[in-house]
Structure 1
């Protein structure tokens, strides 16, 4: 941090800093603040589909986390090749069995790569598209292993899941950070959700800390 402070420019820290204790510490060291993603992503004002959001909150509050925790940093899922953090929530393509049920299709194309064809023209391909199609475009088969269609999955996260011609409904994949467990500190007695204002009050330590409680049951959706 000393090097950052020495620059004399404002800076913020990111990566599991979303607690009042860590915010106070980094500000005392010269940082202007922190980046907060996960806590806001599961707040009422978030663009995440309400049913998915509440089901995820209910799961984290009331279920035992899988071995290794709720978050898995997957080195293979993103077509971009960058590691992708996803919540290991039942009913999403974070589950291998559900991922394998999906028929590969690339129809949104937000993460397609440009490549040069043999005739010198430029075309697009995606490691998450049908494997035969990718290989036909001079892609390597090994590059397709474990790739997930984040385009369709993230659209499903915001309630805009496509229904494919086969009748298949695109499934979601909730992305979240390592501090997902901190949503437990956001839920007050008798509630099963929280607001963006609650997040700000929590981080600035302006609110009474939630007391231990048993959460009310959340009505589960019949179809995710």
Structure 2
């Protein structure tokens, strides 16, 4: 009888010990180990901090806009409505945008000109990559060859020709104009583009990118096409 009790007691202790060991290993060894080095973790932390800063800045801007709108609305509802419409037109790209910025010239490379090579138009893929490189910075307005870039601007190949907003892009040389929200941000974008590896991609296609120094004021043309608002409907008055 004593042997049976002792055996059961030993079995219970064994099971408890096994469960404790499994739980200890589960807590101390995560399912997936983080194999990133310190530099990769610092880069991820930097990106998260930048995103957090941008969100706080956006919230502050919206709070200021709401406060100004409330004050203007109490003084003059008509003026508040006009100001709101104009602000929305600016954000949508339906009006000219002026501010600190710089021009960028896409030109045939000197080697291509010297060797007499035919200069072909820029490819949609390369143009999209360049636009994405610029759009890594917030608060940027841009036009390419006189065509304003907005959120839904298509850059694609139509019948073998590169187009923006369904309009053909000229064969280089042509101009890209960039406007930033502050002169400081214009300088940051300028320095980023000057050091960007994407410039090498242009060189492969016999093109060169001439990024000019920032200016106090440059004007980007307004979007000339009609915006397609597929998911929006005008509210009916009561």
TM-score (normalizing by structure 2):
0.21
Choose between structure 1 and 2: higher helix proportion: 2
Look at both structures and tell me which one has the larger radius of gyration over its CA atoms: 2
TM-score (normalizing by structure 1):
0.22
Choose between structure 1 and 2: higher strand proportion: 2
